[in-house]
Amino acid sequence: MKFRLTSVLLALVIAPSLQAQTSTDKVECDFAQSIYNDSDSVSAISESIWSCEDNSRSLVANGLPDHPVGEFPNENNPNTISEQSISKTFPLSPVKTDEATQLGGPRGGQGYVLNGIKIDASTAGSCDDSGNNCSMINPSGNWHIEALGHNSFDFGTDDNNAHVQPGGEYHYHGMPEGFIDMRGGNSSTMTLIAWAADGFPIYARYGYSDPTDSTSPLKPMTGSYKQLDTPGANRPSTDTYSMGTFQEDWEYVAGLGDLDECNGRYGVTPDFPNGIYHYYATDTYPYFQRCVKGVVEVTNARGTGNRAQRGQRPDLAKAAATLGVSEKALKQALGAPPPDFAQTAKKLGVSEQALRQALNP
């Protein structure tokens, strides 16, 4: 009882400062690295430079991972890692709100790891109600495919829970194990690995068991989501697609785990001893936050940029017309995610270049 009372009193004392303390200045403002990655799928220098000026945190990077990666292309991910031009800014003094803003795909990544690699936890894949028409690049179906946590689809992710988008961008869907190892992350310390799009920090796996007490034991943080007890109406058969395959198979239950609906919480951290709102990468769903609680600028889905890289839905009807095939034939040729562009082009009797251009004009 004494411990509980002490914790409650301490929480009441710290809570106001959690609301007020929003500046992240002087924390990882000078993170910079240039590391040669000798993985067969990279064989190039990974560069990432962070800086803080005025009220902005800036990232300039080439989008190449700095740690060992899997084989790309591979059987389930036909894309090659290529250098990107990453230039992003984040609020240096993030502002917490009571609203959750969904991010991912055309709305912008959920954040960036310190090595300059994007966090984009969701996928552009979906299935219709029948489950017979599924696509990696068409999110218009009612059932949106998860990258991790099931065996229904294989997105070709590596041991870092990452794979490659058609534009060559390597990105994380879950715990970036290789980078955490490079940071010395383990069960004895909290490890800051990334900045969310709203400017709040992201930590890997471990947090204090008492969020107000930095002397409390560390433990693995758990998300507050669970699989639905009953499949949703009109869901594709669980005989084919196990529960957990689709985003719609999950529901948020406040208090079920340690974290809120955006995989975050208020609390003290080694970098912010007075407390701050922060997120976690977790081993449980949703792995990385799918939303943010801070003020953030949402990317315009109609803006410029490579659609495949940014996850914007291709216009399949228009693409089919450009290729001189029916939309049904195009969908059937693309098949289940991820698409094999070479095989799709062969089935349709067109060149792979023509196919890619039609899907990403």
Q: What is the DSSP string of 197-212?
A: TTS-EEEESEEESSTT
- Spatial CA neighbour of 183 closest among 213, 152, 205: 205
pLDDT band of 283, cuts 50, 70, 90: very high
Write down the pTM of the prediction. 0.79
**Among 19-23, 62-66, 227-231, 295-299, whose mean pLDDT is lowest?**
19-23
Is the pLDDT at 7 greater than 80, yes or no? no
Q: For the segment 24-34, what is each residue's pLDDT rounded down to a tens digit?
A: 999 999 999 99
Q: In this structure, are residues 355 and 346 in contact, taking their beta carbons and an 8 Å threshold?
A: no
Residues 6+ apart with CB under 8 A from 232: 248, 249
Residues 6+ apart with CB under 8 A from 311: 104, 105, 106, 120, 124, 139, 165
The average pLDDT across 300-306 equals: 40
Residues 6+ apart with CB under 8 A from 237: 131
- pLDDT at res. 136: 79
* Helices assigned H by DSSP within the chain: 2-20, 177-182, 307-310, 316-323, 327-334, 341-348, 352-359
pLDDT band of 339, cuts 50, 70, 90: low
pLDDT band of 320, cuts 50, 70, 90: confident
Is the pLDDT at 105 greater than 60, yes or no? yes
DSSP designation for 74: B
- Residues 318 and 307: their CA atoms lie apart, in Å, by 14
